[in-house]
Structure 1
Amino acid sequence: MTFDSLLHKIPEIKSVNLLGIEAQALMVPKERRPYLKVDDFISNNPRYSAVMMLLYPKEQETSLLLIERSNGGGVHSGQVGFPGGKYEVEDQTLEVTALRETDEEVGIKANQIEILKAFTRVYIPPSNFIVQPYLGIMDTTPHVELSVDEVANIIEMPLSTLLDDTIIKEVGLQTSYAELIDVPAYIYNDYTIWGATAMMLSELKETLKQVL
């Protein structure tokens, strides 16, 4: 959809009810379903992080920024995700975390981004993190400067592509909760987007469909 069309929908996006784990569950296999309710895992003493789902204009259309993480040997190395990272005490809030990490990873400054709303948290069992996604928007195409230690590439997905059900496929993957299972994933430009990122994308997609 055009970016101008999206701008006219901003008040509705800010006020629309989130679809929560109902929408997230559309992109998880049955083996992952026991981990959908974040509050069930507070007793695990999880760490906290935040990510930025950033919308912006790209040649008049609306794009969504994703990143391919560098292969640094971590649990999520090489995977596709959103800019973001671990909460630090000096951040004060998780919103600050999302903005700071977006700056550190892709060079987009906090004052360029308007936060529209917080989305539903996701629990990530392998790393014992609770992740808080935020939906942000900026009115220009970002100039990106990658932190090469953390980010291998950026992926600019048109919002119209996310809203297209044909990019959802079942793929066989080895996961933390099963050796080899069929996992729902978004396939875009040869990237396989699954797990927590797919859950967040699913809630974003289903939420926006209510107003677009």
Structure 2
Amino acid sequence: MQLALQHADVSRLARRLASRVPVDASPAAESRLAAVSAVLRVVDGAPELLFIKRAELERDPWSGHMAFPGGRLEPGDASLEVTAVRETQEELALDLTQGRMLGRLDDLAPHNRSLPPIIIRPFVAIVEPDVMFMPSEEVAATFWVPLARLQHESSRARYEVEMNGIRASFPAFRVEQHIVWGLTERIVRQLLALVSP
């Protein structure tokens, strides 16, 4: 993993994650806890970020959305970092213990009150460039996206959606023909802020 960390953006990100104190949310009594993994690799000298497109499932409030692998804290999980690693293994057969956990970002909660009350803790990991994985039935597609593309103004977009009968507009990123918005967009923004010089 040392070779990958020699890339300026990844090295800067690792240093900043190690030196900052992430913001912990104060969950309401009914809030569930969850964790996601923002997974990086370096290919041909360029860092890339892994996105998944969630499968269309009735029971999933984020059905069909662009996301990061992750899920809810289970009783057997010793920590939310363990949750992030376990969920990434379950959804992608990707073992983050073979890579390196760089740190975590600030906790997030949905702004939309119609979504389940949940606190999400994002973790940032880096894996080997040739890593292989096998998506489960929960994952419709996977995308490696260069950080440089996400940093470019042309990737920025607005996402219009009707929520509870009200039309709302949210900041978003374009990833191929898909739109990254909501919690995932907020995680990407945190990550890019730490990568920027």
Using the size of structure 2 for normalisation, the TM-score is 0.86
Among the aligned pairs, what percent are the same residue? 23
Residues 50 and 95, structure 1, Cα contact 8 Å, conserved in 2:
yes
2:36 pairs with one of 48, 51, 55:
51
Q: Following superposition of structure 1 onto structure 2, how do residues 48-197 of structure 1 map, counting pairs within 5 Å? A: 48-73=33-58, 74-124=60-110, 125=113, 126-148=115-137, 150-175=138-163, 179-197=166-184
Pairwise CA RMSD of aligned residues?
2.3
Q: Which structure has more helix as a fraction of its residues?
A: 1
Structure 2 unaligned spans of 5+ = none
Structure 1, unpaired ranges of 5+:
21-36
Which structure would you say has the larger RCO, counting Cα contacts within 8 Å and 6 or more residues apart?
Answer: 1
Paired amino acid for 1:147: S
Q: Render the CA deviation track for 1:21-55: whole Å, top value 9, x for unaligned.
A: xxxxxxxxxxxxxxxx943xx23420011000011
- Alpha carbons of structure 1 residues 90 and 69: separation in structure 2 relative to 1, 3 Å: same
- Give distance in 1, aligned partners of 2:105 and 2:79: 15
Give the letter aligned to residue 170 of structure 1.
R
1:155, distance to aligned residue in structure 2 (A):
1.3
**Letter of the aligned partner of 2:15 in structure 1?**
E
Counterpart secondary structure, 2:76? helix
Distance 1:11 1:113 in 2: 13
Separation in 1 of the partners of 2:177 and 2:33?
30
Corresponding residue pairs, total = 189
Cα pair 1:44 1:128 within 8 Å, conserved: no
Partner deviation per Cα, 1:78-121 (whole Å, 9 max, x = no partner): 00000101111111100000001101111111322211111100
Q: Distance in 1 between matches of 2:93 and 2:7?
A: 27
User: Residue 174 of structure 1: SS of its match in structure 2?
Assistant: strand
User: Following the alignment from structure 1 to structure 2, what is the Cα–Cα distance between the partners of residues 165 and 18?
Assistant: 29
Mapped to 2, the partners of 1:132 and 1:14 lie a distance apart of: 14
Asked if 2 retains the 8 angstrom alpha-carbon contact of 1:16 and 1:207, the reply is no
Deviates more, 1:11-20 or 1:107-116: 11-20
1:19 to partner: Cα distance: 8.3
**Residue pair 2:18, 2:102 contacting (<8 A) in 1 also:** no
Deviation readout 1:145-204 (Å, 9 max, x if unpaired): 0102x000001110111221321112311236x621121111120111000000111111
Shift of 1:141: 2.6
Q: Where do 4+ consecutive residues of structure 1 move more than 6 Å?
A: none
